[in-house]
Amino acid sequence: MDKNFIISFSSGKDSILSLYKMIKNGYKPVRLLTTISGKEKRSLFHGVNVNLLENVSEALDIPLVVVDASGPPYGKAFETELRKAKNDGINLCAFGDIDIIEHQNWGKDRCKAANIDCIWPLWNENRISLVREFVALGFKAKIKILNTRHLSEQYLAQDITNSLIDEFVAIGLDPSAESGEFHTFVYDGPIFKHKVDFKISDIHRIGDYSMLDFLV
């Protein structure tokens, strides 16, 4: 069985945990596939700039491939990169979604169009257990962006810890943030060659979302 894979990569906790589980199951990561906005050169949803993503790529020792969403529609651009991977002998794409079927269906459709297999290492696992596993393994992640309808800005830049998980559970917030309550940036952990250094800059506010700049 071919063990090489590409992963849909956000630099967030679920993406990293999926990558970790794939590696532990004997698969070999060949590429990190991240979609960015064309103008700002930041990853979609998590808002991580390309320079910092490249530093993450170096720390993980896995090449980074970016999908520029400013040209063709997002899905078509993603399929194009999957086809390139397929042509290079990569036959499997991993995703970090947990249980939202619309997200899984989107990934399945992209992979079907590119004639590449797909896998979800976290699928249907308990949400809270996955976050606790992430912490127990020694990964380090900060909250980078949050939806202010669910959380106040005081949580920006906080590290994901068991005490923070307990706090979220107590207030009725899903600590996995599977529905987009917040997004994280992972900067260290057992599959990193070294910690990713970065500076924390200004808060940007767009609608219901508040986002920090993490800079190289």
Domain co-membership, 162 together with 186? yes
pLDDT at 160 over 70: yes
Domain co-membership, 96 together with 133? no
Position 38 scores a pLDDT of 67
In the chain, the number of structural domains is 2
d(CA 83, CA 81): 5
Domain co-membership, 76 together with 113? yes
Of 90, 119, 148, the residue at which a domain comes to its end is 119
Mean pLDDT of 76-90: 93
Which residue segment(s) compose the domain that 148 sits in? 127-215
Position 118 scores a pLDDT of 97
Of 119, 139, 159, the residue at which a domain comes to its end is 119
Mean pLDDT of 158-170: 97
Domain co-membership, 71 together with 159? no
pLDDT band at 74; cut points 50, 70, 90: confident
pLDDT band at 138; cut points 50, 70, 90: very high
Domain co-membership, 9 together with 33? yes
d(CA 74, CA 107): 12
Residues 11-37 have pLDDT tens digits of: 999 999 999 999 999 999 999 999 887
d(CA 176, CA 159): 13
Label the pairing between strands 182-188 and 140-147: antiparallel
Domain co-membership, 82 together with 148? no
Q: Which tokens in the block code for residue 145?
A: 């962006």
Domain co-membership, 14 together with 103? yes
Mean pLDDT of 191-211: 94
Residues 177-192 have pLDDT tens digits of: 998 899 999 999 999 9
Of 64, 98, 119, the residue at which a domain comes to its end is 119
Q: Higher pLDDT residue, 36 or 142?
A: 142
Write the Ramachandran bin of 207: left for phi over 0, alpha for psi from -120 to 50, otherwise beta: left
Domain co-membership, 11 together with 95? yes
Q: What is the CATH number of the domain that holds 41?
A: 3.40.50.620
pLDDT band at 45; cut points 50, 70, 90: confident
Q: Is 74 exposed, middle or buried (0-12, 13-18, 19+ CB in 10 A)?
A: middle
Structural contact between residues 64 and 34, judged by C-beta atoms closer than 8 angstroms: yes
Position 37 scores a pLDDT of 79
pLDDT at 1 over 60: no
Domain co-membership, 82 together with 114? yes
Q: Give residue for tokens 């590429």.
A: 31
Domain co-membership, 104 together with 203? no
User: What does the angle CA 119 – CA 55 – CA 138 come to, to the nearest 5 degrees?
Assistant: 60
Domain co-membership, 35 together with 108? yes
Q: pTM of the entire structure?
A: 0.95
Q: Which tokens in the block code for residue 111?
A: 């992979």
Domain co-membership, 21 together with 114? yes
